A = this chain, B = another copy of it.
């Protein structure tokens, strides 16, 4: 399973970066291969100052070794070897009418003292963070998510959509980071699902990413925008930073497992503003977004 999924995310990284380069039309991904002192490493690919993408990264990593002490409590073990691999991506477009997107698909194994697999699971998802809300874009993104789920189990989409709204919640702001998508974690063997079934599900979601995101980019990338639109985008990006640094378990996991800082924090947006006590005007497009972030909707 380990080798199969590693092979999958390597290929997926190639597919996604070439799809994004095509839609950008100018910038290409710069690649950094890195090694982790305690075992493993990764292949980080970053795009900057493109026609469409102001900054973004599509990274894979495969790390292994002793589970760091700081993570033992989180996983409820005292001393264990682990393996983790995944693809993680964040794209921050320049145009405020093109949404930011985040996705992640990962696989984790923990071993007993004889080296046998003591626990294993998949996790991941994909979610959209618009600065201006186009309802048809939200519907499109969620429809692709739902279709990927429905092939496997009709209960998956509502369940993982809800988990996504709950996870990407900026509690201290009382609003969602974005308009959600899918989030799942610790997908492991059950009565209905073997690990090989979860592999099929997770890779189906991974395969759906470009279909979920690219049509939205194509539709919005040429819209003209004002300085006010741009300021709003940069203020909202501040909320993105707040979520990632205060609440996101993935980011904190990376910081605590001696991950490569630049690869973890490539998720942070390029230009960001914090304005004291900023509130959009009543009945503006900006306020419309906030209301949806405060009360997640069913899009499909």
Interface, chain A (partner B; CB < 8 A): 32, 46, 48, 55, 57, 172-173, 234, 238, 241-242, 245-246, 255, 261-262, 265-266, 268-277
Cross-interface CB contact of A269 among B46, B255, B269, B274, cutoff 8 Å = B274
B172:A32 contact, CB within 8 angstroms: no
* Chain B nearest Cβ from A96, distance in angstroms: 16
Cross-interface CB contact of A276 among B241, B262, B272, B277, cutoff 8 Å = B262
B-chain residues with CB within 8 Å of residue A242 when the two chains form the complex: 245, 265
Most interface-central of A238, A269, A275, A277 (chain B CB within 10 A): A277
A46:B276 contact, CB within 8 angstroms: yes
B-chain residues with CB within 8 Å of residue A245 when the two chains form the complex: 241-242, 245-246
A277 and B31 CA atoms in complex are apart in Å by 12
By beta carbon, the residue of chain B nearest A279 is: B262
A246 and B242 CA atoms in complex are apart in Å by 9
A55 and B275 CA atoms in complex are apart in Å by 8
B273:A271 contact, CB within 8 angstroms: yes
A274:B272 contact, CB within 8 angstroms: yes
A269 and B272 CA atoms in complex are apart in Å by 9
A7 and B242 CA atoms in complex are apart in Å by 34
By beta carbon, the residue of chain B nearest A171 is: B255
B-chain residues with CB within 8 Å of residue A46 when the two chains form the complex: 276-277
A276:B271 contact, CB within 8 angstroms: no
B274:A268 contact, CB within 8 angstroms: yes
B-chain residues with CB within 8 Å of residue A173 when the two chains form the complex: 261
* Chain B nearest Cβ from A270, distance in angstroms: 6
Cross-interface CB contact of A275 among B32, B261, B270, B276, cutoff 8 Å = B270
By beta carbon, the residue of chain B nearest A259 is: B172
15 examples of A-B residue contacts, CB within 8 angstroms: A46-B276, A46-B277, A55-B274, A173-B261, A234-B271, A238-B268, A241-B245, A242-B265, A245-B245, A245-B246, A262-B276, A266-B276, A269-B274, A270-B274, A272-B273
B241:A172 contact, CB within 8 angstroms: no
A246 and B262 CA atoms in complex are apart in Å by 16
By beta carbon, the residue of chain B nearest A246 is: B245
* Chain B nearest Cβ from A262, distance in angstroms: 5
A277:B32 contact, CB within 8 angstroms: yes
A246:B238 contact, CB within 8 angstroms: no
B-chain residues with CB within 8 Å of residue A57 when the two chains form the complex: 276
By beta carbon, the residue of chain B nearest A173 is: B261
* Chain B nearest Cβ from A145, distance in angstroms: 28
By beta carbon, the residue of chain B nearest A272 is: B272
A273 and B55 CA atoms in complex are apart in Å by 11
B246:A276 contact, CB within 8 angstroms: no
